[in-house]
Chains A and B, each alone.
Chain A
Amino acid sequence: MDSVIISSKSGRTWRLASLLATRRRRRTLAALGCLLLAFATIAGQLVRLALRGGAEIKLTLAEPLTSSWSRPDIVDRKGRLIATDVAVNSLYADPQQIIDLDEVIEKLSPILGGIEWGDMRKSLADRSRRFVWIERGLSPRLAQRVHDLGLPGLAFRSELKRIYPLGVLAGHVIGTVNVDNKGLAGVERTLDEMSRVEPVQGAGRMEKAPLRLSLDIGVQHALTEELKQARTLYGAPAAAGLIMDANTGEILAAASLPQIDPSRPAEWQDQALADRLFGGTYELGSVFKTLTIAMALEAGIADLDKVYDVTQPLTTGPYTITDFHPQGRPLSVREIFLHSSNVGAGMLARELGAQRQRALLDRFGLLEGMRTAAGPVAPPQLPKTWGDAETITISYGHGLAVAPLQFAAAIAALVNGGTSVTPTLLAGGNGTPDRRRVVSAATSSKIREIMRLNVTNAAGTGRRAEAEGYRVGGKTGTAEMPGRGGYREKSQIASFAGAFPMDAPKYVTLVILFEPQTGAVGGDHATAGLNAAPTTARVVERVAPLLGVLPRTLATRSAQSGSFDAPRGAQ
């Protein structure tokens, strides 16, 4: 190879090896030069960017980063659907793709009401953006109408939306979600806290077991309807009601009126629609005498036949306690309950003493907050000092404000044989709840006796709560609502705390009417015995058959005779 000589026409000669080496060197140098040039360009650009500064880096996306949340269905204790996710179309725009903004707004505005088009125009006119939500959760009909417009720059994205097929029924308990399907209140929020929801892109539903609530939709509806009628009948701006299993604490129905719509999150800011069962605390009045007498029996300071002289008003400091229906004679403890004597309850409480009263109320679970699957219950409002006056006023339900749910749990413990219950919205109860003895079985039995007597006895304040055959028992309470500088005499809370069937109570009921204007006998007699008690009777008559409680007054008929009575009013 080294010996090959190349000669040109001009006579110059080269060695071939030398020629090839020279060419290789040149090519290598050229390649190196290109690389150097490229690196120099990059370096120069970096230096330029560093020196100029302030260069804005804009990140635009054709798809949003936010994700929706897939939630499990919510069903009632019988598996009936309360809330579910469905895929819906949400409309968005890519401003860079919009050709005629005026046309877009002109054609969309008649279809999509409720959009602030001034702000929307600004968003859509910003060409640096690639994604602007226009309306989320469109119905299929609206989505089709928008699709038929064929406007460039508009597109749909499928995502999940929470649907509540029962409307406003049990709305306060169910809660609500935001536009991204994230729980904001009630059971929906608890689902988030229980990590039962999962982030998803688009409309992918996750397969998860539904959350089974203790509510019974049929019972819930019956309670709600009766409360609605009571509101109209007695002129009450608001009402609340509860039906709870006296042994397991399962809440079968919980209604607060006015109702709230779970599909409208904005309504949840309105205080007028606030939940009165779980979210508010109230001085419930004479229904507390049930607790006072139970405490007296439990402490052994009295029995039902012990007589107290209630003929004179009770004085404590500057206050004088009188009876609403003074009997003008000494009353036994049983009669103190039947006639709802404030003086008698105050005397029992004074004999019991503040310390023991407080300890026993604590045992009932009325002095500290609780929570359910619908979130925390409003904590009780305790008096700042717990002296003689407070001891007496608390004995008849003033001076201590508790959430109605908490009070119902205390009544359940009183009638079920004396063991505590923890209210729950989950079917099957709380698993293995920590059940402790609150009062003895003997005390519980005596309380059942006087609660039933209060309904069956002609002198009982709760006699209008009798529901034929279902053995209702309970106690009325009419409390003045607190106002500026004291109590408002004309604004009352009328309540009836009851249970049925009283021979072996299975269910606790609580009916509360806020500021009722009248009662069963008309006029301005708006005490609980005249409105909350008869409302309870109607509630029990409707829900007892749904709950499988048989009436005691069963007619006996031979199987051979064959015919049945026609239902009342059906013919």
Chain B
Amino acid sequence: MHRTLNWVLALATLAGMSALYVIKEGTRRLEARVQAQERALERAENDVSVLTAERAHLARPERLEPLARKLGMVPVGASQYMRIEVDARAPSPLVGEGQGGADRGPSASAVPPTPSPSPQGGGEPTRPSGQAAPSRTAR
């Protein structure tokens, strides 16, 4: 009886050892994969910061201004702003182009709008809140 029990326990121990080895080996491989992924993540994060810095460097106003001036662009002048008077009785020129406008009342709104992209900007498509969006480009 004891002899059989001893054999069973010995075999169970061996099986447990084997299972433990397999699990440990699997864990080690997973850890190695995690470490590799972490390294890859770190590299990717660093690449992102380098690219972000490079984009900011390329979009710096000091670089963009001469390029913009070469294209004939100049800082926005006061004469480029105009106030548009919309006559409610006259048909809107935008009707028929899918722009609607039938319910518009009379309004006089200033349209600031940057006929030419300003070379003073930082090159990124952001603008202060409250500032109207550029309407169109005039050259």
Known: A81-B52, A554-B110. A569 touches B74 (CB 8 A): yes
* A165: interface (CB < 8 Å): yes
Chain B residues within 8 Å of A570, by CB? 72-74, 116, 139
Please encode chain A, from 502 to 527, with 1 for each CB lying within 8 Å of some chain B CB and 0 for all others. 00000000000000000000000000
Interface contact B52-A84, CB-CB below 8 Å: yes
Shortest A312–chain B CB gap in Å is 44
Q: Which of A175-183, A314-322, A556-564 contacts B (4 or more CB under 8 A)?
A: A556-564
Interchain CA distance A545-B128 in the complex, whole Å: 11
- Tell me if A79 is interfacial: C-beta within 8 Å of chain B: yes
User: What A residues does B126 contact at CB under 8 A?
Assistant: 78-80
B80 contacts chain A at the CB level, 8 A cutoff? yes
Q: Is A485 an interface residue (CB 8 A)?
A: no
Q: What residues on A are CB-neighbors of B77 within 8 Å? A: 468, 541, 567-568
The answer for the CA separation of A565 and B118 in the assembled complex, in Å, is: 16
Select one of B42, B46, B112, B139 contacting A571, CB under 8 A. Answer: B139
Complex CA distance for A565 and B46, rounded to whole angstroms: 47
Report B-chain residues with C-beta under 8 Å of the C-beta of A166. 56-57, 60, 62
**Chain B residues with Cβ under 8 A from A568's Cβ?**
74, 77, 79-80
User: Is B87 a contact partner of A559 (Cβ separation < 8 A)?
Assistant: yes
**Could you tell me the distance between the alpha carbons of A548 and B133 in the complex, rounded to whole angstroms?**
11
Q: Are A468 and B122 in contact (CB under 8 A)?
A: no
Most buried by B among A84, A86, A543: A86
Q: How far is the CB of B113 from chain A (nearest CB, A)?
A: 9
Interface residue A555 (Cβ < 8 Å from any Cβ of B): yes
Question: Does B115 lie within 8 Å of A564, measured CB to CB?
Answer: yes
Residues from chain B with Cβ under 8 Å of A219 in the complex: 120
On whether the beta carbons of A86 and B46 are closer than 8 Å, the reply is yes
Instruction: Using A205-B49, A545-B75, A564-B82 as known contacts, say yes or no to A80 and B130 having CB atoms under 8 A apart.
Output: no
B84 is an interface residue with CB less than 8 A from chain A: yes
Contact A218 B74 (CB under 8 A): no
Give the chain A neighbours of B93 by CB distance below 8 A: 559-560, 562
Identify which of B45, B55, B73, B80 gathers the most chain A CB atoms within 10 Å of its CB: B80
Asked whether any CB of chain B lies closer than 8 Å to the CB of A22, the reply is no
> Nearest B residue to A546 by beta-carbon distance?
B120
Cα A560 to Cα B91 in complex, Å, equals 9
Determine the distance from Cα of A80 to Cα of B74 in the docked complex, in whole angstroms: 22
Contacts of B75 in A (CB 8 A): 222, 541-542, 545
Determine if B82 and A555 form an interchain contact, defined as CB atoms under 8 angstroms apart: yes
Contact of A76 among B74, B110, B122, B127 (CB under 8 A): B122
The CA-CA distance from A542 to B77 in the complex, in Å, is 8
Residues of B within 8 A of A80 (CB): 56, 59, 122, 124, 126
Main secondary structure of the interface of B (DSSP, over half): loop
User: Which of B46, B62, B74 contacts A169, CB < 8 Å?
Assistant: B62
Kindly list chain A residues whose C-beta atoms are within 8 Å of the C-beta of B49: 84-87, 205
> Cα distance A372–B80 when bound, in Å?
37
Residues of chain A contacted by B79 (CB below 8 angstroms): 468, 553, 555, 565, 567-568
Contact indicator A556/B82 (Cβ below 8 Å): yes
- Asked if B103 CB lies within 8 Å of chain A CBs, one says no
Q: A468-B78, A568-B77 are in contact. Are A81 and B118 (CB under 8 A)?
A: no
Interface residues of B in 21-64 (CB under 8 A from A): 42, 45-46, 49-50, 52-57, 59-62
**Contact between chains at A559 and B84 (CB < 8 Å):** yes
Flag A529-551 by CB within 8 Å of B: 1 or 0 each.
00000000000011111111011
A283 to B42, CA, bound (A): 53
Verify A567–B60 contact, CB threshold 8 A.
Answer: no
| Residues of A contacting B121 in the complex (Cβ-Cβ under 8 angstroms) | 218, 546
Q: Which of A208-222 contact B (CB under 8 A)?
A: 216-219, 221-222
Measured CA separation A547–B129 after assembly (Å): 10
Q: Contact: B87 with A554, CB < 8 Å?
A: no
CB closest residue in chain B, given A79: B126
Q: Which residue of A lies closest to B59 (CB)?
A: A80
Given known A167-B62, A217-B61, A221-B120, contact A81–B84 (CB-CB < 8 A): no
A218-B78 CB under 8 A given contacts A557-B83, A559-B93, A567-B138: no
Chain A positions 21-56 with a Cβ under 8 Å from a chain B Cβ: none
CA distance A164 to B82 in the complex (A): 39
**A173 located at the interface, meaning its Cβ lies under 8 Å from any Cβ of chain B in the complex:** no
- What A residues does B50 contact at CB under 8 A? 86
Residue of B nearest to A557 (CB): B82
Q: Write the nearest CB–CB distance from B122 to chain A, whole angstroms.
A: 4
Chain B residues with Cβ under 8 A from A558's Cβ?
A: 84-85, 87
Given A557-B83, A564-B136, 10 new contacts (CB under 8 A): A81-B56, A86-B53, A165-B57, A169-B62, A217-B60, A541-B75, A553-B78, A554-B82, A556-B83, A566-B115
Q: 21 A-B contacts, Cβ less than 8 Å apart?
A: A76-B122, A87-B49, A169-B61, A203-B42, A203-B46, A218-B122, A221-B61, A470-B78, A541-B75, A541-B77, A543-B120, A545-B75, A554-B81, A555-B81, A555-B83, A564-B136, A566-B138, A567-B74, A567-B138, A570-B116, A571-B139
Please name the 10 residue pairs, one residue from A and one from B, whose CB atoms are nearest each other, closest first.
A221-B61, A551-B78, A165-B56, A469-B78, A548-B131, A81-B56, A165-B57, A564-B138, A545-B76, A554-B83
